[in-house]
Each structure stands twice: as structure tokens, then as C-alpha cells.
Amino acid sequence: MYAMTTATAALPACAPAPVWARRAAHAIALCAVPSGLWRIAMASGVPVGYSDQVLRDVFDIPGWGIAYVVGLSVLTELAALFPLLLVSDRWRPLHPRVLAPLAWIASGILVLVALWQLVVAFTVESQTYLSSGTAQTVWGFVFAPLFAIPALMTAVTWSYAQRHRVVFRP
């Protein structure tokens, strides 16, 4: 006789993700695109506001800095795709009891990273590398969408937890 184990047991059906949560999850993935393209342009040698000396001395471009900058862009976009798991009705790689705490932890980390990035963005050192006001404005526009991610991620996580009635208890 075949006994169902936790690994083979079907997950209980839950309500589909609301439209706003699906849109928010997709918006998270799109918010990471401008900064990723900007970094890839920087790695490709497109002038993005840094002098050649700053690219060589600070970012090691050309050199290993290219792998770092492109890798960071790819990693950022992959991480930005994570919320799509929270709104997917077809694919559930992890049980809600595992996925919900991971999502809440990711939301908390994103809030901390966003706060840290605000501090870095307004320090004197970070502003001295960019060569002009235009470059700083473009940089601001391509990185600004990243600051929407923590709020969007928290909303998508809340929706997922509500639909699955999972409460994170440390």
C-alpha cells in the first residue's frame, strides 16, 4: 500500500493571487531592469558618467570588474524574479511553510538594503565619482525604481501569507 508522505502530499488549494499582487510581483522584476542595463553599459565601455580612470581604479574595468558588474546585474534580476514564485498558481517549488518565512526575511533584507543604499547615495564619496550633474541625474533615474522593491515585496509577501494562512513565528 502506498502511503503519502510530506514530500508527496498535495498542497492544499488556495485562492489565486489577486491581480494587484501579480502586477506588483512583475513590477519588482521590471524595477531591476534599468539599473542592470546601466551596469552592463558601464561594463561594456559605454560612458555612463565615470571617467576612464575611475573605471580602472575603482571598478577595475576593464578587468575583473566587468565580471563583477555583469554578475551583479544578473544576480539582481534573478533575485527580482523571486516574487513571481509567490503569485504562481502552477509552480510551487517549496511548501508555503518554508516559502513564506523566506519571503518575509527577503522583505526585511530589502528594506535594510534600500536604507543602506540611500546612505551610500548621499555620501560625498559616491557623488564625487560621477563626472557631471547629467550623469548623476541619469544614475538617479535608473536606480530610483530599486527603492520601490521593498514596499512591493512586502505587499506581495503579505498577500501570499494571507492566501496560505501562514504566520511566521521565529
- Using DSSP's 3-state secondary structure scheme, residue 9 falls into coil
The residue whose grid cell reads 498558481 is 89
For position 9, what pLDDT does the model report? 46
For position 113, what pLDDT does the model report? 78
Q: Rounded to an integer, what distance in angstroms lies between the CA atom of residue 117 and that of residue 105? A: 18
pTM: 0.74
Q: Rounded to an integer, what distance in angstroms lies between the CA atom of residue 21 and that of residue 153? A: 9
Q: Residue 77 CA to chain centroid, in angstroms?
A: 6
Q: Rounded to an integer, what distance in angstroms lies between the CA atom of residue 67 and that of residue 89? A: 35
Per-residue pLDDT reduced to its tens digit, 38-71 = 989 989 988 888 888 888 888 888 889 899 989 9
161 close to 169: Cβ distance less than 8 angstroms: no
Q: Residue 75 CA to chain centroid, in angstroms?
A: 8
pLDDT tens digits for the chain (170 residues)?
Answer: 444 444 444 445 677 889 999 999 999 999 999 989 998 998 998 888 888 888 888 888 888 989 998 998 898 888 888 888 888 877 666 666 677 777 778 878 887 777 777 776 666 555 567 777 788 888 888 888 988 888 898 899 888 888 877 544 55
For position 88, what pLDDT does the model report? 82
